[in-house]
DNA sequence: GTCAATCGTTTTGTATACAAGATAAGAAAT
DNA sequence: ATTTCTTATCTTGTATACAAAACGATTGAC
């Protein structure tokens, strides 16, 4: 983007927000954070703008920057859109994917399988990420690739929790196989549907999690 | 967003970029524009950040802000994504749309029809905008609505040219009728397909335009 | 004559200072 | 006692000043 300072600050703040350090509605104090990062207010304000761009904070005129954590409803909505974008990537990729990329997918999938066997969530997550990114790229639509990757990144912290559900990794794995099969056969509709379902189930799982948290709170 | 100054400047610059005042790659001179708008560099820089967020300018560190006009390829890509998003809105809206919203759609469509008869592109455009926005809203997914509206806005200047093609308004009109029919019947797949085609044809028309411009240049 | 290096100018990035609006607290009036 | 108005403080928005980096031009060397 622009300068080094504001950029790294934006990233650090992003991490903090993702990590849940700030709650929804928390105000980000310019002066306090400026002191904390050892910079003036100027680069901090630029960082705020970036975060506002990705929807992580809301900038209210004359009031300040407020952390904007998506609620359950918004998260479900985001997963719904994510499912569509991924489905589109899959449909296009089925027609355009290269043999080299197919090999890459198989490799990522093999690594996933290994991670499932030793129940290594982190390793699974990394390879899963690679798997999906390849499909975005192979859609042959750079704009779609970027938009999908953007939303993927934003949903990252919520997707990560999914894998800790019992049996989710194995299920996810099976879905990956189905996706690759459809892509190999150039089955556009099938690949799209497989990806849509693969992502949509995450939204549903999340919904379940929310529901269980809510009932536990009662 | 944040303050009034930077916001209005961002909008004005956006208009200027949309209007084609700046070519792709043009550098936006901070000091010159600051003087022109009668403000200091600070709010201008904030405006640049906003424009970078929507992809209209690229901020290169230590170099400045450069106008980023999408080329033919990127435009086609954007229309392709737009078609998918609209199709998704339509599919969801088919299940969730209210009777009041259906009436609104019919009203917008009637106004469109009137505009076609007097060949009033601007009036058609305004009502067309309303038509689509209603569908976004009726998807019942606020996040989807916002993202779709964002891309819609970004494609606005390019879509507008479409209507001047001979017969495009009438064709567009017929497509609108088909969309409303599908929504009335609650035909999710039909509504999705109708919208996808309705938007995709714009991308193709644009492609034709580009091709004709290119061959004219030879 | 051409290429490279250095110096100067221009422009971006950051800090600080100032102004204006917002919030909150206290005082006065009902 | 409660409510409202006023005032004081705090925070944001904007301007200016300063530092550092990039670009260009000129000069020197090969």
Domain CATH number, residue A46: 1.10.10.10
Strand partners of residue B59: B65
Q: Do A81 and B1 touch (CB under 8 A)?
A: no
Say whether both A57 and A98 belong to one domain: no
Q: Residue B144: pLDDT band by 50, 70, 90 thresholds? A: very high
Average pLDDT, chain B: 90
Q: How far is CA A78 from CA A32, A74, A75, A192, B144, in A?
A: 32, 6, 5, 18, 7
Q: Do B59 and A2 touch (CB under 8 A)?
A: yes
Say whether both A59 and A153 belong to one domain: no
Residue A88 confidence (pLDDT): 98
Residue B6 confidence (pLDDT): 84
Residue B152 confidence (pLDDT): 96
Number of structural domains in chain A: 2
* CA-based nearest distance B198→chain A, Å: 17
- Residues in chain A within 8 Å Cβ distance of B45: 46
Average pLDDT (B89-111) is 96
Name the residue range of residue A48's domain. 4-67
| Through-space separation of residue A63 CA and nucleotide C13 C1' in angstroms | 25
Lowest-confidence pick of A105-119, A186-200, B131-145, B161-175: B161-175
Say whether both A182 and A114 belong to one domain: yes
Cross-chain CB nearest to A81 (options B42, B60, B141):
B141
Say whether both A190 and A131 belong to one domain: yes
CB pairs under 8 A between A and B: 75
Say whether both A112 and A196 belong to one domain: yes
Residue B2 confidence (pLDDT): 59
Q: What is the percent of chain A with per-residue pLDDT over 90, rounded to a whole number? A: 68
Q: Residue B175: pLDDT band by 50, 70, 90 thresholds? A: very high
What 8-state DSSP symbol labels residue B166? T
Residue where one domain finishes, among candidates B67, B98, B115: B67
Say whether both A45 and A97 belong to one domain: no
| pLDDT of A78 strictly over 90 | yes
The phi, psi pair for B103, rounded to 5°, reads: -60, -40
- Residues in chain A within 8 Å Cβ distance of B42: 42
Residue A217 confidence (pLDDT): 63
Judge whether A81 is closer than 8 Å to chain B, CB to CB. yes
Say whether both B148 and B133 belong to one domain: yes
Q: Residue A180: pLDDT band by 50, 70, 90 thresholds? A: very high
Residue B182 confidence (pLDDT): 97
- Cβ(B72)–Cβ(B213) below 8 Å: no
Task: Check residues B176 and A55 and name the one with the higher pLDDT.
Answer: B176
pLDDT digit string (tens) for A119-158?
A: 888 899 999 999 999 999 999 999 999 999 999 999 988 8
Say whether both B175 and B76 belong to one domain: yes
Q: Do A61 and B143 touch (CB under 8 A)?
A: no
Average pLDDT (A48-63) is 90
Strand C contact with B5 (CB < 7 A): no
| pLDDT of B1 strictly over 60 | no
Closest chain B residue to A64 measured between Cα atoms? B2
Residue A215 confidence (pLDDT): 65
* Edge-to-edge strand ranges of the sheet holding A57-60: A27-28, A64-67, A57-60
| Through-space separation of residue B63 CA and nucleotide D28 C1' in angstroms | 30
| Through-space separation of residue A156 CA and nucleotide C13 C1' in angstroms | 32
Strand D contact with B166 (CB < 7 A): no
pLDDT digit string (tens) for A80-100?
A: 999 999 999 999 999 999 999
Residue B140 Ramachandran class (φ > 0 left, ψ -120 to 50 alpha, else beta):
left
Q: Residue B165: pLDDT band by 50, 70, 90 thresholds? A: confident
Residue A218 confidence (pLDDT): 58
Lowest-confidence pick of A9-13, A131-135, B54-58, B201-205: B201-205
CATH code of the domain in which B179 resides: 1.20.120.530
How many angstroms from the chain centroid is the CA of residue A84?
A: 14
The phi, psi pair for B66, rounded to 5°, reads: -120, 135
Say whether both B52 and B13 belong to one domain: yes
Residue A170 confidence (pLDDT): 86
Q: Looking at chain B from residue 83 to 142, which residues have their Cβ under 8 Å from any Cβ of chain A?
A: 84-85, 88, 141-142
Say whether both A147 and A192 belong to one domain: yes
* CA-based nearest distance B62→chain A, Å: 7
Q: Residue B4: pLDDT band by 50, 70, 90 thresholds? A: confident
Say whether both B91 and B140 belong to one domain: yes
Residue where one domain finishes, among candidates A46, A67, A88: A67
Residue B213 confidence (pLDDT): 66
DSSP sequence for A19-80: TTSS-TT-EE-HHHHHHHHTS-HHHHHHHHHHHHHTTSEEEETTTEEEE----HHHHHHHHH
Residue A186 confidence (pLDDT): 96
| Through-space separation of residue A109 CA and nucleotide D5 C1' in angstroms | 70
Residue where one domain finishes, among candidates B67, B87, B118: B67
Say whether both B191 and B206 belong to one domain: yes
Closest chain A residue to B7 measured between Cα atoms? A61
Residue B163 confidence (pLDDT): 74
């Amino acid at each position: 983007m622009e300068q080094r300072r504001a950029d790294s600050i934006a990233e650090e703040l992003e991490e903090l927000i993702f990590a849940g350090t700030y709650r929804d509605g928390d105000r980000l104090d310019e002066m306090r954070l400026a002191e904390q990062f050892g910079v003036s207010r100027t680069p901090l304000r630029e960082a705020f703008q970036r975060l506002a761009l990705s929807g992580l904070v809301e900038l209210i005129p004359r009031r300040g920057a407020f952390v904007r954590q998506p609620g359950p409803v918004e998260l479900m909505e985001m997963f719904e859109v994510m499912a569509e974008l991924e489905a589109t990537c899959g449909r296009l990729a089925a027609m355009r994917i290269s043999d080299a990329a197919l090999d890459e997918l198989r490799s990522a999938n093999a690594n996933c399988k290994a991670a499932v066997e030793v129940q290594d969530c982190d390793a699974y997550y990394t390879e899963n990420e690679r798997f999906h990114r390849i499909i975005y790229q192979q859609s042959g639509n750079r704009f779609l690739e970027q938009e999908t990757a953007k939303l993927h990144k934003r949903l990252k912290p919520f997707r990560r929790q999914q894998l800790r559900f019992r049996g989710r990794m194995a299920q996810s794995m099976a879905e990956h196989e189905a996706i690759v099969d459809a892509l190999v056969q150039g089955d556009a509709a099938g690949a799209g549907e497989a990806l849509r379902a693969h992502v949509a189930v995450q939204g549903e799982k999340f919904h379940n999690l929310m529901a269980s948290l809510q009932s536990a709170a009662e």
